[in-house]
Chain A
Amino acid sequence: MIAVGEALRESAIINLTGAVTMVVDDSAFSADITSSALLGFGIKTRHSMRSAAEAVEVLREVEIDLLVVDCEMPGMDGFDLVHWLRRSGPPNAFVPVIMTAAHIRRSMVTKARDCGANFIITKPFSASSLLERIVWVARDTRPFLEVGDYFGPDRRFREDEPPGEERRSDVIRRAKFEAEKAAALAAAAGQ
């Protein structure tokens, strides 16, 4: 058995065959990539949806075990979907959610932080990092908090740190990168 926060051991055994999984991505190819990786882990994607609206229809009725959703989609985006999901009540309000992002707009950083996902990973991500995060969200027993507009896992990690870095590390890293770039641009403009 693998504990939370423990790096994946090659010899450890996992059984994800029965996990009812939904992948939501407006890019059919990107959804295929995600589903192919999941299939390697033993997970056959039960529901592959091209829009958040389609996903909502299914999530109202069908209990799932894992949701993998892309952040950037036309209309209702991935953040809106997760925000809705957390307030949707049974059967899926507490389901583990992994979000994937090719790029996060500056205006979306707060939305990303507050939507209630368990984890956001930025592309490119490797098969091992995806599996590591699936194992982590499966073991994630943080309580859910309702604070103002926020409904989701307690964002203050305690004894069970996620693999690698803190959940919002991608967002934080991007914000730092943006700040450094802005400083470089300002310096270039001043020359």
Chain B
Amino acid sequence: MTVITHARKKSRLAKLIDSAGGISIGVALTRARENIAALRSRGLEEVTRCIEELAAVQAPSNADETLRALQQVYRTANHLIDAAAPFELAELCAVAISLCDVVDRLADDPAPDWRIIDVHIQSLRLLNGLPAEAAAERREVLDHLSRMVARKLGQAG
């Protein structure tokens, strides 16, 4: 196979980064963390909005609806991860990632078992409603979900 190599010169970004002025890495990171922390309340609202959007997706009744519904669930679960990830909402992220994995696996199934998706959405609602100190309850929700996924998708093959 033919390989064409394009040599590269120093990028403008590389020149800029070493130019006079600027700030220390320490200051840059502190400012970035503060900027992100200032968005926390919006992030929590976004998480709740995404969960409600997921809950509003109707179980599909035919192949066309299935594809659309799975795409919507996948996209909204992605947005939920976007919103939850910067604020260390690890359990919510874990369930949303599991939901993305499930949708990915069910994408080839013409009649997917929608209950698997419903249980994920219920788990998200539960986790979102639990107080920060309820670590044991959150662990229980995750364990229950993980057992259900193993059982259902294990059966599916």
Contacts and interface: CB of A to CB of B under 8 A. Distances in A.
Contacts, number: 202
Given A131-B29, A134-B13, 11 more contacts: A29-B83, A30-B83, A36-B39, A37-B35, A70-B82, A96-B13, A102-B79, A105-B104, A127-B32, A131-B32, A189-B154
B81 A141 contact: no
A123 B82 contact: yes
Contacts of B26: 10-11
A15 B16 contact: yes
19 contacts: A8-B29, A10-B24, A10-B26, A12-B25, A13-B23, A15-B22, A18-B16, A36-B39, A40-B31, A40-B36, A42-B22, A102-B97, A103-B101, A124-B81, A124-B85, A127-B33, A131-B25, A145-B6, A186-B154
Nearest to B46: A29
A9 B88 CA distance: 24
A37 B28 CA distance: 9
Interface in B1-45: 1-8, 10-14, 16-26, 28-36, 38-39, 42-43
Interface band, chain A: 35 or more
Interface of A: 1-2, 8-19, 25-27, 29-30, 32-33, 36-42, 65-66, 70, 72, 74, 94-96, 102-103, 105-107, 123-125, 127-128, 130-131, 134-135, 137-148, 154, 178, 181, 184-186, 188-189
A106 B100 CA distance: 11
Given A40-B32, A124-B93, A143 B7 contact: yes
A13 B24 contact: yes
Contacts of B22: 13-17, 42
B101 A94 contact: no
B111 interface: no
Contacts of A106: 104
B110 interface: no
Interface residues of B, number: 62
A63 B29 CA distance: 27
Nearest to B104: A105
- Scoring B21, B82, B83 by chain A CB atoms within 10 A of each residue's CB, the highest score goes to B82
Contacts of A26: 75
Contact of A29 (B8, B13, B42, B153): B42
Given A16-B17, A146-B4, A188 B154 contact: yes
A15 B1 contact: no
A141 B153 CA distance: 45
B61 interface: no
A61 B13 CA distance: 19
B29 A128 contact: yes
A10 B3 CA distance: 41
